[in-house]
Structure 1
């Protein structure tokens, strides 16, 4: 039976009232020096944090679950709760318990969720922590991304495929949307994101516009380039509503919205971003393009590089500006080295300035901000006479904010403590009263020693000493041996076994001065620091701009470093359609090679007139996929404004890169490998343009041989004949029958990766050469993988029999069959064969593969082998 409110303790009544406002969050309830959790929150906290779960009394005969931790450990435990996917409401004491009779007033001062984190322990230096918001609007959907820790705010509109691509690129820590769309979100985007749903009325045009206009304090949104994007405005408005809802009212560092225009960037769908392993690897601890290229020296540079990679440029002038600047840094080595050294000392200027309005910046961080502004001034001086127009334009945007910089340096000590309450933050000479009080506090203690010496001499008590306790402050202590010498004016306060303690009017007077001075010092220092932080508010926007300029410089200096270090060359980007790469290399694989081993470079050419489609065949593991990926990566790097791993590269402006590489099941979505493969390929076929680069690897292998060949064959013909776009295409396949397409279509060319046979071994030469390959050497790869010798020998016997009996009909017959309707498209190896094969078929049909252990599978294989024997 539930207890009535009157039977609960006042503390638990207060907790219940606050918890009702935050039912879906773990409530950390400050009680004295501890943060306590109660009931179901305590169970969660004990489990996630590994702390003890206990019970405590709650009124008459009632008990509640309880788990707590010391308040100074908040950062550590908060980090663990949020990383475990919990929303956390931090409830603090809003009054000093010493000054209050009865229950202390409490309230939630901060709400932390995975997408709304500002604590350094919850953030990664080189990664943004975005909160995503989606407004589902049918054909046109709105999406926004906001990082409260940096103030960056992006908005966009598009179809669901575009929204999916943006989610993959920004990788938000949390995504919010209206409650009615919960099933729709999961069906479209799966379980890849932490989500939170809100009431539908929040996602309305009128409310969103009101919210944005109020925040930016403007009469119109024209200046932000979002007028005419109602769905994007709704998503942006919902984001700001969510921040206010989670107790984040101070958002002055969110000073602008940036529109993401799809036409400004080279398009890559989420499959391409995944397949090329740009940001994340398919294997744990695997290398990615980002990891290989990221030699930035500032956190904001690292974050910007990730965004440049996800959103390569499509404007030739903008690309060439970056390439020109990289070249300038390469040729001006001294300037580059000086700039890098200055940038290294800047720290995370972007996140430091964002702490100002949130009231989270501490004295030590204010001093780091000042040092960063000093580096801004040094960078500005260094670039003052630059011959680069781009660098000159960037330099004009730099503002060292000298007035506030001078004030910080004059007011804050060089090495301040982290907490203002520790004291010693404000320099001498800033405040007269503070200086006087400090003088009293330090010299007053010296005077106490003088009193001790004076009284000792006057009374003849050599062992007299002055001490302090919290009960009655400063006192004189006299041992029993000398208590008969105590003057009449002393007031006895305490008798001990071996001594007595006294006070005097003079002692009390100085005690009041000293303790009063220390309290006043703390109040004055806190006030002066708060005034300084308040003054910093006016400089948020220029400091944010400084951070953005430094991030750009950092990325471009990183590109220059990579070019010199790894022998990258400047690509030529033009308005043409050709792709000509000389001595191209895979930037990631190259860096992972053993010491002394060099990457085998390859030339490659694609154009719309002579060589639009390359059919690439060759042995398994010979390097086909690496060649495909490196072509896409070189194209991508060039559009980022980076030099590329090749001796030369001429790259026609590319608007889309599509890749279909490898096969992966989507079992949770009920889709097979083949279905996933066809979905991704259909997305490519339906989205190509004349400037697209299409990379296809082993299309059709998820189904039977004849189905696979027919689909692969028809895809090549479609790209060649049935679309006017003529996209540049690389098609790697193990279907050697596709080599016949070269004879039928003039822009299809066969190439293969070379190999050399030595005895019964195959040596992969990894060199691209004209002409098709007739073998995949799958059995050889099986041997390399460690298959048993008897299994390999039997595979060779079966292969020889198949080749001898021509089980697979000649190519022309196969293709003819593909063009003729038939009842049975899939070849069945058990049809028209001996009774033995029929017995094998029966055996296999009775096997439950899902329940078969590896050992049972080997025994079954051996049984079948015996039947064949």
Structure 2
């Protein structure tokens, strides 16, 4: 087939054959052209015209193209839609080549390797992630190539726990692209959980890229070290493999030396508070559950940052709360000082407002695609450093002084840019007009020659007008004919003999003289040399700055840290937050705590604050009862958010707050069918509960809302009861827990289980069966759920409301709570008696169908044969689920 193609199309097909999984952008002149299937796809996805081109075959090749100067936006659209784009450019000088100019792919752009700032969210990192997994452990590495940040961790646990940890860690990282070793990609259903969660962004990479020896060499070469010892990777096989494979992928796709990726941060997932993927969503840390919007999230409240670098770091702090008391206190000390020195707080904000995104500017420098305006942005940013340094050093905070003393003001970089680049440079770096004349002597001379030459041309025009008497004569220039003298047709008779005709127009003639031709050569030669010299000077300046990337990255990190702490100080001052007391004594004592987001969005209402007391002894688990819409979920979320904010180093919305460091926060709030994975609401709920019971510790904070509501009343009550028992037992879990429920029967547990306390939402009942939610949490248990009253408030028709009251009255006459039999949670022998009571109640209700049959007796037999002392929480949930499914078939 290739022999029938034209030489150019043959070259295209040879390149395309190497990049079959990419859309090939093939540079021809001022356009990137696409052919055949690529053209059909691109024309559809980009909504551009599909044409054709002769290719040497009988049928024309489908073709479409985009201008190279505006290609970034088109590439971003394709990548956003899930395509990889290979950029093919000329790799030799066309003027020196014979035949077809050589072309090859200079870069492959994927979702995780975009560097175009217009396509990236400036306040979010764009992470490319690599996972290496086998039966014994896992390595996770991720990089933002626009900033040079590289991180790695490894997980060595049981296989099922490793899979759970991977999902939770990916939920934190939120990568846009994931590569993984193919030997594990199709291993089993357990690993399929990862593929299903991240199916749109995860794919296999070459197996050989995960070989240890290769990955080790890749790391040493990239980070310029002779050993992994100094990187903290010498005993981390999994991190080494995932990091080395990640670097291999970057080498394959980027095809340049990524010098800004020169440091790796190794960490353990246990270095930070662990938040599973559901907790991150439920607490709406970064975005809201509905609408996926930043507005309404915790981030939206805390983000008062002035720089993009600070905004990205703040997001990371929210995602990674600390568990080290010393580090937390260090952050709080600085935030506290800034809240007390409002002048300094505002001065820092004002200074940082003029600082650009230095991290991503350096990414552009490394990639060689920065322009003069980027360097001016860098200069403006560096110009603010001495002012910021002085502010910190002159403060009365030892910690701020220490940061100030560390600051490198990069004066040499500032001087280089200030002395070389004009203040308002053009976008292009290949057309001149970018370097100051006095920066280089040769450039100065060429500029002088051009200036004098143009002055000479102006004088020549005046001289020729006088000598010829042609007042409309003018000296002009175009790229085709160069300089010329233009005379209108009406004045041709006055043209001197030494004028040589160059071009005829409809209403004028253009001429050249030997004198003009000589000056043209001087001017154009000087201009061409000047453009080439300016380009060479610019690349030299850029390379000098590139060589200082480590210094510039260090100052970027300092700026980001200052920006985040100043942002937290501004938020604390504006919203009347207090410094939390951080301890390790297991006590949570929050006075008048508030929800940081809800209190800001209430329209004309005052937020009702609430106290919270949890500890490791008598107040481990709070059972919270009350109607829907009364504020139970808001209250529980606010406790979790106050805890998280305190551990990230932020002040918190309360009058007083004593927070004992927690290792994990778990939430089980709300439920929805996951149809894509074939899971019902109840199964999702139980899976999340199983995760909490299996991974929680005595140092965890657990938020549970309406456990068991996804199944029948008695099954749900049984599950909720068993979960409370398990969590409250210090020999099994003993975690500090807030447990909201509609099962009022659970309030009996306060008298049966040590460490359990009842709380309720105050409700004011008014005449006419109306209620008012007071949103105040007080000791005690609610005796009813006010469900019908809530329905009335929601606008349900009155006839339905009245009928509901009638049905409720009938049901309450036969309620299980009116029986003389009570559930004794401490005696497992009462299980058969409880079943018999339940059976009797159901059979005696006139409105209830008799569900008990021979088949149902089989279910009862299975229940009788369960040895509760040998059943794990996960086994119990699975048994209950299977029994529920069997009962539905009766």
Q: TM-score range by the shorter chain?
A: over 0.9
Asked whether the 8 Å contact 1:397–1:545 carries over to 2, the reply is: no
CA distance in 2, matches of 1:52, 1:361: 31
Q: Provide the secondary structure at the position in 1 that maps to 2:366.
A: coil
Query: Displacement, 1:100?
Result: 4.7
Of 367, 380, 394, which aligns to 1:371? 380
Judged with a 3 Å threshold, the aligned counterparts in structure 2 of structure 1 residues 498 and 526 are, in CA distance, closer, same or farther, namely closer
Q: Provide the secondary structure at the position in 1 that maps to 2:152.
A: strand
CA distance in 1, matches of 2:278, 2:616: 25
Q: How does 1:167-246 map to 2 (within 5 A)?
A: 167-184=170-187, 185-192=191-198, 193-246=200-253
Q: How does 1:45-444 map to 2 (within 5 A)?
A: 45-95=42-92, 97=94, 100=97, 102-158=99-155, 159-184=162-187, 185-192=191-198, 193-284=200-291, 285=293, 287-444=296-453
CA distance in 2, matches of 1:130, 1:364: 26
The answer as to 2:774 corresponding to 1:765 is: yes
Structure 2 partner of 1:860: none
Judged with a 3 Å threshold, the aligned counterparts in structure 2 of structure 1 residues 166 and 581 are, in CA distance, closer, same or farther, namely same
Query: Displacement, 1:811?
Result: 7.6
Structure 1 partner of 2:608: 600
Structure 2 partner of 1:515: 524
Structure 2 partner of 1:741: 749
Of 533, 541, 546, which aligns to 1:537? 546
CA distance in 2, matches of 1:529, 1:375: 23
Asked whether the 8 Å contact 2:814–2:841 carries over to 1, the reply is: no
Once the two structures are overlaid, the 10-residue window that deviates more, 15-24 or 426-435, is: 426-435
Asked whether the 8 Å contact 2:392–2:403 carries over to 1, the reply is: no
Q: Provide the secondary structure at the position in 2 that maps to 1:120.
A: coil
CA distance in 1, matches of 2:506, 2:279: 84
Asked whether the 8 Å contact 1:299–1:347 carries over to 2, the reply is: yes
Q: How does 1:635-654 map to 2 (within 5 A)?
A: 635-654=643-662
Judged with a 3 Å threshold, the aligned counterparts in structure 2 of structure 1 residues 706 and 835 are, in CA distance, closer, same or farther, namely closer
Structure 1 partner of 2:832: 820
Query: Displacement, 1:515?
Result: 1.2
The alignment's C-alpha RMSD in Å is: 2.4
Query: Displacement, 1:474?
Result: 2.0
Per-residue displacement from partner, 1:434-472 (whole Å, max 9, x unpaired)?
Answer: 112212222212212322332343344444332334443
Structure 2 partner of 1:756: 764
Q: Provide the secondary structure at the position in 2 that maps to 1:512.
A: helix
Judged with a 3 Å threshold, the aligned counterparts in structure 2 of structure 1 residues 14 and 611 are, in CA distance, closer, same or farther, namely same
Once the two structures are overlaid, the 10-residue window that deviates more, 673-682 or 382-391, is: 382-391
Q: Provide the secondary structure at the position in 1 that maps to 2:639.
A: helix
The answer as to 2:637 corresponding to 1:634 is: no
Judged with a 3 Å threshold, the aligned counterparts in structure 2 of structure 1 residues 490 and 795 are, in CA distance, closer, same or farther, namely same
Query: Displacement, 1:838?
Result: 8.7
Structure 2 partner of 1:861: none
Query: Displacement, 1:549?
Result: 0.7
Query: Displacement, 1:379?
Result: 0.9
CA distance in 2, matches of 1:218, 1:187: 37
Structure 2 partner of 1:695: 703
Once the two structures are overlaid, the 10-residue window that deviates more, 155-164 or 203-212, is: 155-164
Query: Displacement, 1:680?
Result: 1.5
Q: Normalising by the residue count of structure 1, what TM-score does the alignment of the two structures yield?
A: 0.92
Q: Provide the secondary structure at the position in 1 that maps to 2:317.
A: helix
Query: Displacement, 1:245?
Result: 1.0
Once the two structures are overlaid, the 10-residue window that deviates more, 442-451 or 483-492, is: 483-492
Judged with a 3 Å threshold, the aligned counterparts in structure 2 of structure 1 residues 836 and 201 are, in CA distance, closer, same or farther, namely closer
Q: Which runs of 5+ in 1 are unaligned?
A: 840-869
Judged with a 3 Å threshold, the aligned counterparts in structure 2 of structure 1 residues 780 and 211 are, in CA distance, closer, same or farther, namely same
Once the two structures are overlaid, the 10-residue window that deviates more, 132-141 or 89-98, is: 89-98
Asked whether the 8 Å contact 2:632–2:761 carries over to 1, the reply is: yes
The answer as to 2:566 corresponding to 1:557 is: yes
Query: Displacement, 1:544?
Result: 0.6
Judged with a 3 Å threshold, the aligned counterparts in structure 2 of structure 1 residues 835 and 406 are, in CA distance, closer, same or farther, namely closer
Per-residue displacement from partner, 1:555-606 (whole Å, max 9, x unpaired)?
Answer: 11111111111110010011211110000011111111114x2110011101
Once the two structures are overlaid, the 10-residue window that deviates more, 575-584 or 683-692, is: 683-692
Query: Displacement, 1:635?
Result: 0.7
Query: Displacement, 1:821?
Result: 7.8
Once the two structures are overlaid, the 10-residue window that deviates more, 814-823 or 283-292, is: 814-823
Structure 2 partner of 1:476: 485
Structure 1 partner of 2:582: 573
Structure 2 partner of 1:29: 26
CA distance in 1, matches of 2:73, 2:730: 60
Judged with a 3 Å threshold, the aligned counterparts in structure 2 of structure 1 residues 498 and 266 are, in CA distance, closer, same or farther, namely closer
Per-residue displacement from partner, 1:601-625 (whole Å, max 9, x unpaired)?
Answer: 0111011222111111011111111
Once the two structures are overlaid, the 10-residue window that deviates more, 816-825 or 661-670, is: 816-825
Structure 2 partner of 1:847: none
Structure 2 partner of 1:5: 2
Asked whether the 8 Å contact 2:472–2:487 carries over to 1, the reply is: yes
Asked whether the 8 Å contact 2:382–2:414 carries over to 1, the reply is: yes
Q: How many residues align?
A: 836
Asked whether the 8 Å contact 2:112–2:126 carries over to 1, the reply is: yes
CA distance in 1, matches of 2:820, 2:104: 77
Judged with a 3 Å threshold, the aligned counterparts in structure 2 of structure 1 residues 782 and 493 are, in CA distance, closer, same or farther, namely same
The answer as to 2:721 corresponding to 1:713 is: yes
Q: How does 1:483-502 map to 2 (within 5 A)?
A: 483-495=492-504, 499-502=508-511
Query: Displacement, 1:632?
Result: 0.8
Q: Which runs of 5+ in 2 are unaligned?
A: 156-161, 852-890
Judged with a 3 Å threshold, the aligned counterparts in structure 2 of structure 1 residues 777 and 466 are, in CA distance, closer, same or farther, namely same
Structure 1 partner of 2:712: 704
Q: Provide the secondary structure at the position in 1 that maps to 2:130.
A: strand
Query: Displacement, 1:483?
Result: 4.3
Asked whether the 8 Å contact 2:408–2:555 carries over to 1, the reply is: yes
Per-residue displacement from partner, 1:495-527 (whole Å, max 9, x unpaired)?
Answer: 556654332211100011111111111101101
Query: Displacement, 1:486?
Result: 4.2
Per-residue displacement from partner, 1:345-389 (whole Å, max 9, x unpaired)?
Answer: 111111112222111211111111111111122211211233323
Structure 2 partner of 1:14: 11
Query: Displacement, 1:178?
Result: 1.6
CA distance in 1, matches of 2:557, 2:509: 68
Structure 2 partner of 1:525: 534
Judged with a 3 Å threshold, the aligned counterparts in structure 2 of structure 1 residues 513 and 745 are, in CA distance, closer, same or farther, namely same
Asked whether the 8 Å contact 2:437–2:447 carries over to 1, the reply is: no
Query: Displacement, 1:251?
Result: 0.6
CA distance in 1, matches of 2:95, 2:308: 43
Judged with a 3 Å threshold, the aligned counterparts in structure 2 of structure 1 residues 502 and 828 are, in CA distance, closer, same or farther, namely farther
